[in-house]
Structure 1
Amino acid sequence: MINIILTNPDKCVRCMSCVRACEVNSNIVEESHVDIVPQMCIVCGACIEVCPEGARSYLKQIDIFRKWLTEEKVVAIVAPSYVAHYDEPYKFITALKKVGAIAVHEVATGAELSSMVIAEEIKSGKKVIASPCPTVVNYIKKWIPELIDRLSTAVSPMIAIARYARKQHPEAKIVFIGPCISKKSEIVQDEVKGDVDLALTFEEVDEFFESSKLNLKMLEESFPDEFNSLYGLSYPVVGGLAKTVGYYLQEDFDMVLDKDVVVIEGKWNMVKFLRKYFKNIQKGQDDENPVLAEVLYCDGGCIGGPGIRNDLEIFEKRKRVVEHTLRKLNNRRVELKRLYQDLNLTRCYKPEKVDYKIPKEEEINEILKKIGMLEKPLNCGACGYHTCKDRAIAVINGLIPWDLCIQYQFRKIEEEHERELLRIREETIEKAKKVINKQMEIAQEIAGLLGETVAETKASLLKVLDLITKEEETG
Structure 2
Amino acid sequence: MHDKHRELFKKIIKAYYEDNFEESIKALMEKEKINKTQLFKTISNLCGVDLDYDENYIENLKKAISAYKLEHKVVDRTVSCDGNCKDESGLTNCQRNCPFDAVMIDPNTGKTYIDPERCEDCGVCVEACENGHIMDRVEFIPFAHLLKEKVPVIAAVAPAIYGQFGETVTLNQLRTAFKRIGFTDMFEVAFFADMLTLKEAVEFDHHVHHKDDFLITSCCCPMWVAMIRRVYNEMVKHVSPSVSPMIAAGRVLKKLNPEVKVVFIGPCIAKKAEAKEKDLLGDIDYVLTFEELKTIFEALEINPAELPETYTVEYASRGGRLYGRTAGVSTAVSEAIKRMFPDKHKEVRAVQAHGVPNCKELLSKLQRGEIDANFIEGMGCVGGCVGGPKRIISMELGRDRLNSLCDNSEIKVAIDSDVMKDVLKRIGITSVDDVKERKNMDLFERVF
TM over 0.5: yes
Q: Does 1:306 align with 2:405?
A: no
Matched residue, 1:265: 354
Q: Matches of 1:49 and 1:224 in 2, distance apart?
A: 36
C-alpha separation between the residues in 2 aligned to 1:167 and 1:261? 33
Question: Deviation of residue 325 (structure 1)?
Answer: 0.7
Query: Displacement, 1:178?
Result: 0.8
Q: Structure 1 residues 219, 334: closer, same or farther in 2, change over 3 A?
A: closer
Go from structure 1 to structure 2 and tell me whether the alpha carbon gap of 1:226 and 1:159 turns closer, same or farther (over 3 Å shift).
farther
Q: 1:60 aligns with which of 126, 129, 138?
A: 138
Alignment correspondent of 1:41: 119
Tell me if structure 1 keeps the 8 A contact 2:79–2:133. Answer: yes
2:158 aligned to 76, 79, 95, which one? Answer: 79
Amino acid at match of 2:207: G
Check conservation: 1:43, 1:185, Cα contact below 8 A: yes
1:110 pairs, out of 192, 209, 217, with 192
Match of 1:336 among 420, 434, 437: 420
CA offsets 1:48-90 (integer angstroms, 9 cap, x no match): 2222222122111111121112112211111111103121143
Aligned mate of 2:408, from 324, 327, 338: 327
Specify the SS of the correspondent of 2:324: coil
Structure 2: which 5+ residue stretches go unaligned?
1-70, 86-91, 209-213, 431-440
CA contact (8 A) 1:105 1:225 kept: no
Counterparts of 1:450-465 in structure 2, within 5 Å, are none
**1:5 match:** 75
- 1:180 Cα deviation after fit: 0.9
Q: After alignment, is 25-34 or 300-309 more displaced?
A: 25-34
Matching residue within 187, 190, 193 for 2:275: 187
Whether the 8 Å contact between 1:192 and 1:347 is mirrored in structure 2 is: no
What is the distance in 2 between the residues matched to 1:57 and 1:253? 48
Q: Say if 1:135 and 1:13 are closer, same or farther in 2 by CA, change over 3 A.
A: same
Q: Say if 1:49 and 1:306, in contact at 8 Å, map to a contact too.
A: yes
Match of 1:318 in 2: 399
**SS of corresponding position for 2:276:** coil
Q: SS of 1:177's equivalent?
A: strand
Residue 313 to residue 99, structure 1, CA distance change in 2 (3 Å): closer
- Find out whether 1:129 has 2:210 as its counterpart: no
Question: Could you tell me how far apart the structure 2 residues matched to 1:275 and 1:114 are?
Answer: 26
d(CA) in 2 for partners of 1:227 and 1:45?
Answer: 32
The aligned amino acid for 1:78 is V
SS class of match (1:53): coil
What do the CA deviations read for 1:234-289 (whole angstroms, capped 9, x no partner)? 11111110111011111323767797110111110111211222333xxxx8xx45
Given residue 105 of structure 1, which amino acid in structure 2 is its aligned partner?
Answer: F
Letter in 2 for 1:73: P
Structure label with greater radius of gyration: 1
Cα 1:96–1:140 change in 2 (3 A) is same
Root-mean-square deviation over aligned CA pairs: 2.3
Aligned residue identity for 2:446: C
Counterpart code for 2:349 = D
The 10-residue stretch of structure 1 (258-267 or 229-238) with the greater mean CA deviation from structure 2: 258-267
- Amino acid paired to 1:214: I
**Separation in structure 2 between the aligned mates of residue 153 and residue 57 of structure 1, nearest angstrom:** 32
Which stretch of structure 1 is more off in the superposition, 58-67 or 225-234? 225-234
Instruction: For 2:313 and 2:114, locate their aligned partners in 1 and report how far apart those are by CA, in whole Å.
Output: 40
The answer (yes or no) to whether the contact 1:191–1:347 under 8 Å persists in 2 is no
Q: Check if 1:211 corresponds to 2:272.
A: no
Aligned position for 2:37: none
Which SS does the other structure have where 2:184 is aligned?
A: strand
Structure 1 residues 92 and 21: alpha-carbon distance in aligned structure 2, compared to 1, 3 A threshold: same
Equivalents in 2 of 1:246, 1:12: separation in Å?
50
User: Aligned residue for 2:58?
Assistant: none
Q: Note the residue ranges of structure 1 that are not aligned, 5 or more in a row.
A: 351-475
The 1-side partners of 2:99 and 2:243 are apart by 25
Q: How many residues align?
A: 342
Q: Greater shift after overlay, 124-133 or 169-178?
A: 124-133
Shift of 1:93: 1.6
**Cα distance, 1:337–1:39 mapped onto 2, change above 3 Å:** farther
* Structure-1 separation of matches of 2:347 and 2:398: 26
TM-score calculated relative to the size of structure 2: 0.71
1:224 and 1:183 map into 2 onto residues whose CA distance is: 27
Cα offsets for 1:180-205 (capped at 9, x unmatched):
11111111112222111111111122
Deviations 1:139-179 (A, max 9, x none): 22222222222111121111112222112321121111111
Match of 2:3 in 1: none
**CA offset digits 1:352-381 (Å, max 9, x no partner):** xxxxxxxxxxxxxxxxxxxxxxxxxxxxxx
| Match for residue 153 of structure 1 among 241, 246, 256 | 241
Summarize deviations over 1:405-440 as a string: whole Å, max 9, x none: xxxxxxxxxxxxxxxxxxxxxxxxxxxxxxxxxxxx
1:292 corresponds to = 375
364, 367, 370: which one aligns with 1:275: 364
| C-alpha separation in 2, matches of 1:84 and 1:254 | 38
Which of 176, 179, 183 pairs up with 1:94? 176
How far has the Cα of 1:42 moved from its partner?
A: 3.0
Query: What is the distance in 1 between the residues matched to 2:407 and 2:345?
Result: 19
Deviation at 1:100, TM superposition (A): 1.9
Deviations 1:203-258 (CA, angstroms, capped at 9, x unpaired): 12222222223233331122467723231111111111011101111132376779
- Which residue identity is paired with 2:102? S
> Do the aligned residues in 2 keep the contact of 1:160 with 1:345 (CA within 8 Å)?
yes
Distance 2:240 2:303 in 1: 41
Q: Relative to 1, partners in 2 of residues 1:225 and 1:199: Cα closer, same or farther, differing over 3 Å?
A: farther
Contact kept? 1:112, 1:231, Cα under 8 Å: yes
Aligned to 2:101: 25
**How far apart are the structure 2 equivalents of 1:117 and 1:338?**
16
* TM-score normalised to structure 1 length: 0.67
Residues 298-332 of structure 1, C-alpha deviation per residue, up to 9 Å, x if partnerless?
Answer: 001001111111xx332211110000011123264
Structure 2 residue aligned with 1:447: none
Partners of 1:177 and 1:337 in 2: CA distance: 25
Q: 168-177 or 294-303: which moved more? A: 168-177
